[in-house]
Amino acid sequence: MELKRVVVTGLGAITPLGNDVASTWEAAINGKSGAGPITHFDASKFKTQFACEVKNFNAADHIDRKKLRQLDLYAQYALVASRQAIEDSGLEQASNLDRNRVGVIVSSGIGGLHTFEEEAGYYAKNEENGPKFNPFFIPKMIADIASGHVSMEYGYHGPNYGIVSACASSNNAIIDAFNLIRLGKADAFVTGGAEAAIFPAGVGGFNSMHALSTRNDSPETASRPFSKSRDGFVMGEGGVVLVLEELEHAKARGAKIYAEVVGGGMSADAHHITATHPEGLGAKLAMQMALDDAGMKPEDIDYINVHGTSTPVGDVSEVKAIVDLFGDAAYKLNISSTKSMTGHLLGATGAMEAMFSILAVQNDIVPPTINHEEGDDDENIDYSLNFTFNKAQKRPVRAALSNAFGFGGHNATVIVKKYEA
């Protein structure tokens, strides 16, 4: 069976750097940080009092009041980003669009955490009168509901679901969409991820694990992947969505093409509930599988958007995996962690970084890893690699590889390259 080719025809983004793709990309290539004091709640008594929040987003400007009552913040981000991506793709203007062959896979690692908090708090305050819950509680909270709302708004009857694999969720969504299209099961997919966990349970929960940076005196510099002084990740939020489309379907309607998706790899660390494998074995396997899937060699990759969360252990293991797999080719490509600017969007991070990889391929610019001051004493981080520290770099980017790893040992890698007719 001959596999079909899959291209990216639309992008949408609500992020800590901007409320659309253009502003997000401009901020990224200029090395801007999206971090600042938390405004979603009073975090003054928390160990971490800052995050990378979405700014100047008023859902009522985009979604009518009746609909808004049904949507947790994460789903609001997902729906608005999906609308942007679909509009950007021009898919709705396609003549004779077969809506039975358009699917939606928009994932979240946690889902409606804020809704859960609100309802749990409400119940606690009303115990004497018995339980009383909002009828939208469950459908607002569940992690698959963003996909459902997108499909209902556009009447897309193709495969529709969400994938939960922690911080690998939206990379897994992209890979599933890619595979279903190239197997001929659909003509197009709206796919990506959304997350909104910057609330007491999210910040407090990660604080209790000692996973978050506590650099409260300097939020903008707190996310510093591969630097000696890194002390944990910075939580981010938002939604990023891609429209993937079968090549001939896209060409037939004259769609613009950002890049081609050519490979996906998935693996498990089978090691620890939160920590990555210290030798990066799962990460290496996912990258190798993606290369094999794409029919590519290490030297064909010009840029790796690493998971790079700014944690002491995770950064080291990913570098080990890259050096071990890529060998000499590792020293000829660019590496960067855009989490240094966006923070860690958890279940949405894979889609965010896939978008950055697509734009790097399209524009031949590698966004930087900001906030680097000094190298780690750990000899396992090889600083002769090009981490693209502090400043974007212009260079030919024929193909880019994007990593996303999640609690539970989930690893997912996506490869995109320049589209060639």
Q: Which residues pair with 303 in a beta bridge?
A: 334, 400
What is the dihedral angle through the alpha carbons of 161, 348, 332, 385, rounded to the nearest 10 degrees?
-140
Q: Which residue has the tokens 């790079």?
A: 308
- Are 110 and 125 contacting, i.e. CB atoms less than 8 angstroms apart? no
Handedness of CA 237, 202, 353, 295 (dihedral sign): negative
Cα–Cα distance list, 397 to 79, 143, 166, 333 (Å)? 31, 35, 29, 9
Selecting among 114, 344, 372, 410, the annotated active-site residue is 344
List the Cα angle 5/9/13 in 5-degree steps: 130
Between CA 421 and CA 244 the distance in angstroms is: 17
Compute φ and ψ for 410, nearest 5 degrees: -80, 130
Between CA 56 and CA 67 the distance in angstroms is: 20
Does the annotation count 52 as an active-site position? Answer: no
Selecting among 249, 307, 372, 410, the annotated active-site residue is 307
Cα–Cα distance list, 205 to 25, 91, 197 (Å)? 30, 40, 10
Does the annotation count 344 as an active-site position? Answer: yes
75 CB-near residues (< 8 Å, 6+ apart): 112, 140, 145, 146, 149, 194
51 CB-near residues (< 8 Å, 6+ apart): 35, 36, 38, 198, 203, 219, 234, 235, 236, 237, 343
- Are 298 and 43 contacting, i.e. CB atoms less than 8 angstroms apart? no
Selecting among 114, 149, 167, 249, the annotated active-site residue is 167
Q: In this structure, how many other beta carbons lie within 10 angstroms of the beta carbon of residue 183? A: 11
Catalytic residue set = 167, 307, 344
